[in-house]
A and B are shown apart, each in its own frame.
Chain A
Amino acid sequence: MGNNSGNAYQPRPVSIIRTLPQINEHRLFQLKLEDGGSWEDFGHQPGQFVEVSIFGKGEAPISISSPPTRLDALEICVRRTGRLTNALFDMEKGSHLHIRGPYGRGFPVEILKGHKVLLIAGGLGLAPLRSLLLYLLDKRDKFDEIILMYGTNNPDNVLFKYELLGFFDRDDIKYLYSVDRDEEGIWKQYVGVVTGLFDQAELSPHDTYAVLCGPPVMYKFVLERLLSLGFPKDHIFMSLERMMKCGIGKCGHCAIGDKYCCTDGPVFPFTEIEKIKEAI
């Protein structure tokens, strides 16, 4: 757990190196460990999360947005929603907070090696997927073709905009994106839900792995599409979100059938959850 105290609930001190505004109510925070530890020893994998504590405000699970190939800082991308996230948005460079982790089962990078990878993100779902995306790009020769499909509700809500724009100039990643609505008519790409992007990509389901992260409604439609395209069930991985309190399989909040999202997930192979009614 990268925590020497023996108490799995003990938060570790970190400070904010920099805050980078994203879209409205979303910010990227770069963190530094303040207890002498290093991010290398922290040992996070793409798709894992941390529990973030702010003095007197509580704790919340937040995905790690940066890959283990970039260890200068741990990055988290946060949407302002309530008590803890409000307090985080009041913080600035140099402010102190706490984290514990890394927690959960991340994306199956070993399985993905040598294969094509299709990443499908919706909204804030890009936050955890970015850790995998950057990992794939940093170890580009280990993977075959990389396709990113990203959908947001409107053109103003594209996260990591500048990073993504850079992908248009690269020929080692195919980037497709969509917006649900474009009332001002400024969007030059696809308008409609993210599944519409499937018509723009040539996919070879049998040597491609699909990795999903997005809001609950997205899964149902994307899964239907993937299965009808002939993706084998064991080629589909998805990151699920649940209310979480402890992150270590004790508080019971995140239970999904016979699994716990915090320890058995948050990334699940579709084959593990397809029969659990409350999963998707």
Chain B
Amino acid sequence: MKVLARKDLPDVLKNWSDSYDVFAPSMKETGDVIFDRFDADTFTLEYGKPSLPQKSEFLPQSEVIFELKKGEYREVMAGSGKMLFGMRACDVMGMRQAGSFMKRDVTDPYYKSKEEGILKVVMACSGPQNETCFCTTVGSGPFAEAGFDLQFYDLGDEFLVEAESERGKQLIADGFFGEIDAAEAGTKIEEFKVHASKAIKEVPALKEAMERLRDGSVSEKVWDYFGRKCIVCGGCAFVCPTCTCFTVSDFQTQPGEGLRVRSWDACLFGGFTREASGHNPRGTQALRLKRRHEHKLLYYNETDVLEGLCGCVGCGRCSDYCPVHIGTLEVVKAIAED
């Protein structure tokens, strides 16, 4: 454990930028905060919950996987030398769960090559970032337990900095980081954790909903209701840190040459399961919404959920962004009340 004065953070990030492509929260002119290349002028710690998880660093919205040339498929493999500074604990858990799926049985080489190269620096949350956070219910936050290189605890004038990996230890070996008595650090962190966890609302409906899905007692009316409201934008899946479904398409760029590209896809779309014959085993929007939520809360067996509860890591983004209020929070509430 080390300690860093708050005022030194921009200099530290600047130093790290010499060796890594540092991505950190950046305040844009429009008032939105996004993860962007570190810039001392726009860098901010007032970023709450980033609007998107860092999923696209591991599974880009769209990526070329093969170049088609001279009758061959030539692998296009991008590594990553990025540092992500300021990840939230729920997103770290989301990344770990998604990784366990992408690397189970057969390894997805594109996902793995990016994930391995990225340095993950977490900023532990001192409380909920907004009213939709429910990390404590699903066991993903407000601080990360594993899967990061460094974790920062914001104590006001200073940060306590915890290293999880060898790479992390080396990062905090320089002069900016001071030593701190282990017992003292332990007490402060314990206090921080207890306080932060207490500040975040538990959502008992989630466990009830999981229970009801397991015993098959959820009425189809719940899904019909949401199915009628959904406008099929796919947003809930695109902002979700644990959604990894993709499609693959070929493009011809000129005669004999082209690209094979994979891009995000979502179980909310009718075409996702429509077969060539026209038959669609998930033929209604109600069935598709049921699938999405069953996958998060019932059928997550193919994913190692690690210390988490289920395939949802409680970031609340689906509730933040669904234009017609069909987030996991709304759905579990409807199931529990059904």
The stretch among B4-12, B34-42, B160-168, B274-282 that forms the contact with chain A is: B274-282
Q: How large is the interface on B (under 10, 10 to 19, 20 to 34, 35 or more residues)?
A: 35 or more
Stretch at the interface among A4-12, A142-150, A168-176, A195-203: A4-12
Q: Does A249 sit at the interface, judged by CB under 8 A?
A: yes
A59-B260 Cα distance, complex, nearest whole Å: 10
Nearest residue (CB) in A for B244 is: A252
Please tell me if the beta carbons of B275 and A59 are within 8 angstroms of each other in the complex. Answer: no
A60, closest chain B residue (CB): B276
Residues of A within 8 A of B239 (CB): none
* A255 CA to B248 CA, complexed, in Å: 16
Q: Which residue of A lies closest to B75 (CB)?
A: A7
Q: A250 contacts which of B102, B251, B256, B298 (Cβ < 8 Å)? A: B102
Docked Cα-Cα span, A142 to B256, in Å, equals: 49
Neighbour of B301 across the interface among A216, A248, A258, CB < 8 A: A258
Interface flags for A31-61 (1: CB within 8 Å of B; 0: not) read 0000000000000000000000101111110
CB 8 Å contact bits of B72-109 with A (1 = contact, 0 = none): 11010100000000000000000000000110111111
- B244 near A255 with CB under 8 A, answer no
A257 in contact with B248 (CB, 8 Å): no
Q: Which of A59-82 contact B (CB under 8 A)?
A: 59-60, 81-82
Interface residues of A in 6-27 (CB under 8 A from B): 6-11, 13
The answer to whether B302 touches A8 (Cβ under 8 A) is no
Query: Taking CB as reference atom, which chain B residue is nearest A123?
Result: B277
Q: Which residues of B contact A250 (CB under 8 A)?
A: 101-102, 106, 108, 244, 246
| Residue A237 at the chain B interface, CB threshold 8 Å | no
A251 and B265 contact, CB distance less than 8 A: yes
Kindly state whether residue B201 has any CB partner on chain A within 8 Å: no
Q: Is B68 part of the contact surface with A, judged by Cβ < 8 Å?
A: yes
Q: How far is the CB of B282 from chain A (nearest CB, A)?
A: 6
B15: A residues at CB distance < 8 A: none
Tell me whether A134 is interfacial, beta carbon within 8 Å.
Answer: no
Contacts of A13 in B (CB 8 A): 71-72
Cβ contact within 8 Å between B71 and A96: yes
Output the nearest chain B residue to A257 by Cβ-Cβ distance: B299
Is A245 located at the chain interface by the 8 A CB criterion? yes
A12's closest neighbor in chain B, by CB?
A: B73
Residue pair A82, B73 in contact (C-beta under 8 Å): no
Within 8 A of A (CB), among B272-301: 272-277, 279, 281-282, 287, 291, 294-295, 298-299, 301
A85 contact set on B, CB distance < 8 A: 276
| B residues near A56, Cβ cutoff 8 Å | 68, 250-252, 258
Q: Does A230 contact B (CB under 8 A)?
A: no
Q: Produce 1/0 per residue, B298-329, CB < 8 A to A.
A: 11011000000000000000000000000000
Instruction: Check B277–A251 contact: CB distance below 8 A.
Output: no
Q: A255–B106 contact, CB under 8 A?
A: no
Question: Are A249 and B105 interface neighbours, CB within 8 A?
Answer: yes
User: How many Å from the CB of A57 to the closest CB on chain B?
Assistant: 6
Of all chain A residues, which has the CB nearest B107? A8
Complex Cα–Cα for A108 and B291 (A): 29
Complex-state Cα separation, A250 to B301, whole angstroms: 14
B267 within 8 A of A: yes
Contacts of B104 in A (CB 8 A): 249
Interfacial chain A residues near B281, Cβ < 8 Å:
216, 242, 256, 278
Interface residue A263 (Cβ < 8 Å from any Cβ of B): yes
User: Which residues on B sit within 8 Å (CB–CB) of A257?
Assistant: 294, 299
**Assembled-state Cα–Cα distance A10/B298 (Å):** 33
- Select from chain B the residue with minimum beta-carbon distance to A79: B276
Q: Which of B66, B75, B106, B298 has the most CB of A within 10 A?
A: B106
Flag whether A98 is at the interface (Cβ < 8 A): yes
Q: How far is the CA of A249 from the CA of B246 in the complex (A)?
A: 11
Least CB distance from A179 to B in Å reads: 19
Query: Which chain B residues lie closer than 8 Å to A248 at the CB level?
Result: 105-106
| Nearest residue, chain B, Cβ from A258 | B299
Instruction: State whether B108 touches A8 (Cβ < 8 A).
Output: yes
Q: A109 in the interface, Cβ–Cβ < 8 Å?
A: no
What residues of chain A lie closer than 8 Å to B77, measured between beta carbons?
Answer: 7
**CB nearest neighbor in A for B220:** A277
**Min CB distance, B87 to chain A, in Å?**
23
Q: Are A9 and B275 in contact (CB under 8 A)?
A: no
Q: Which residues of B contact A60 (CB under 8 A)?
A: 276
Which 9 residue pairs across A and B have the least CB separation, nearest first? A252-B245, A56-B252, A258-B299, A56-B258, A81-B276, A248-B106, A58-B250, A8-B106, A7-B109
- Beyond the given A55-B71, A56-B250, A253-B272, please list 12 additional residue pairs across the A-B interface where CB-CB is below 8 A: A11-B66, A53-B73, A55-B256, A60-B276, A241-B275, A242-B281, A243-B274, A243-B275, A245-B265, A250-B106, A252-B265, A263-B105
The residues of A with any CB-CB pair to B shorter than 8 Å are: 1, 5-11, 13, 53, 55-60, 81-82, 85, 96, 98, 215-216, 241-243, 245-246, 248-253, 255-258, 260, 263, 278
Q: Can you list 14 residue pairs at the A/B interface with Cβ under 8 Å?
A: A9-B65, A56-B252, A57-B250, A59-B250, A215-B277, A241-B275, A242-B281, A243-B273, A249-B104, A250-B101, A252-B267, A255-B291, A258-B298, A260-B302
